[in-house]
Every structure is written in structure tokens, then in C-alpha cells.
Structure 1
């Protein structure tokens, strides 16, 4: 099954259903089932930034107990859309990003990704946290997990 390695805390935010758009510098033509692999590294600075800190805390997570080196969720990659532009207020805080299809990204979702124009929004749906995370080494780009997911899920 296609798998994407994502740094923490973003992998956990996806697994918890709090982050529905993964942002990447590259597009993918792939659509379909996707496993979320929590990479070995944790961006501890981001774990302390709101709304990430409070979202993690609400689920009993901190930068100290985030899973790493594990496939932690499965979902559907339903679209991949290029970011068009963003709007900010006078304090230079981005308050809205727009995708090429006209959809606006606001609120917490905007705080959980890099919506710089020219990047790509990978739209995720039907996210399921795995009951039994699967140890795996991560890889760049999309990669194939060859194990039997049904045994572990």
C-alpha cells in the first residue's frame, strides 16, 4: 500500500483527524488508500506552538510521547491541488490561503501546514488511527508498504 512518511507532530495530527490537508512541495497523481508513517524526527519547536500544543494535549500527547518510526494511520488521498495565493492582515499573519480550485483554507487547518503559493495541498479523507502501529523505516516520496495490514489493523 502507498505510504507517506511525515515528521511529527504532523503525522499524529493527521492520525487524530485534526489535520486534513498535508502540504508538500511536489504534486502526486496518485489517489487512493494511503498509510501515514510517523518519521523518526520530531519538530519539538512546533509542538510548543498553538494550536498544535493544545490539540496534542487534548489527546494526551506531548513532544515527549509522540510515536516515531511507525505507521500510525491509514486514510484516502482524494486530491492534490496547487496553492494559488494567500491573504494576510497588517501584522503579516496569514488569515486565508486559496487553492487553485477556489477553496479557501482558514482557521486551525491553515496553522497546521505550509500553504505558500506554489506548494500542493494533499487532501486526506477517511482517516483511521491504527490500533496496532506498524514499525517501519521511512522513505522519501511515496513508498510501498509490503506487509499485511489486515493482520495488524
Structure 2
């Protein structure tokens, strides 16, 4: 299983199946299953983003609270395409848009160290994630 680290609150929005696009500076050839890892950093720009505030049904910028997990895999999604012409309000101009589908949140986040770019999920972490998804590794 491959993993992708995303800062909060963006990772929360992906895991809640509210944000179907992850904006990156680079493309990837990977397609298929990808673990969504909530990084350890809070992105203040995301807390003020109108899309995040709308998804959270908040009129105020978000603050880190119990909704937001850090340093763990919180969902698994399908990376279905990578494009520069993202068909979504979540697609940022000038970025590469990684289109996500079939998001499955993990009931109990699985602690794990994240990395930049796409990375290989350690076997023990993958087993714990797959057990929650009801599938063998």
C-alpha cells in the first residue's frame, strides 16, 4: 500500500469525503489505492479556507480540536487520475490535481510516520489499516 501525507485540516476534509482533489506541485504515475496520512502540521491557511470552513459548517476559522488527528493514517482512497484541469472548486490553479474517489475513513486512526511524496506504508501499519477495512494484506 502506498501512502500520502496531507496536513490538517486538509486531511480531515479528504477523510470526510468532502475534498475530492489533493493539490500538488508534481504529478505521479501511481493510480489505485492510497492511504491518507494526516501529517503532524496544522495548515493555518487551510483553517481560513472558505471551502474548509464550509465543509465544517463553520463561520469562523477552524482550530485544532478532537476532529483532527495528527501523525496517523485516517483513510484509504483511490487515486483515479492526475490532471492540471481539475473539475472541482477544490482544484487550485497552477497545481497538479490528484483526483480521489471511493474514500473509506479508518475507524481508529493508525499511528504512523509520514514522508514527503508518495511512500510505502510499513507492513505492520498496512495490516492494521486493512484489518479495519475488513481485508487481508
Q: Fold-level match, TM-score > 0.5?
A: yes
Say yes or no: does 1:11 pair with 2:34. Answer: no
Cα offset, 1:113, TM superposition: 4.4
Q: Distance in 1 between matches of 2:30 and 2:22?
A: 14
Q: Which runs of 5+ in 2 are unaligned?
A: none
Equivalent positions of 1:132-151 (< 5 A) are 132-145=108-121, 146-147=123-124, 148=127, 149-151=129-131
Counterpart of 1:24?
Answer: 24
Q: Distance in 1 between matches of 2:93 and 2:74?
A: 24
Q: Which has the higher strand share?
A: 1
1:61-101 CA distance string (max 9 Å, x none): x42221110100001011111x2xxxxxxxxxxxxxxx1xx
Contact 1:23 1:115 in 2 (8 A): no
Deviates more, 1:48-57 or 1:36-45: 48-57
Q: Distance in 2 between matches of 1:78 and 1:31?
A: 6
Equivalent positions of 1:38-77 (< 5 A) are 38-57=38-57, 62-65=62-65, 66-77=68-79
Q: Distance in 2 between matches of 1:151 and 1:8?
A: 24
Q: Distance in 2 between matches of 1:129 and 1:123?
A: 17
Counterpart of 1:115?
Answer: 93
**Secondary structure of 2:56's match?**
helix
Q: Distance in 2 between matches of 1:22 and 1:32?
A: 14
Q: Which runs of 5+ in 1 are unaligned?
A: 84-98
Q: Distance in 2 between matches of 1:113 and 1:127?
A: 17
**Secondary structure of 1:12's match?**
helix
Mark the structure with the bigger radius of gyration: 1
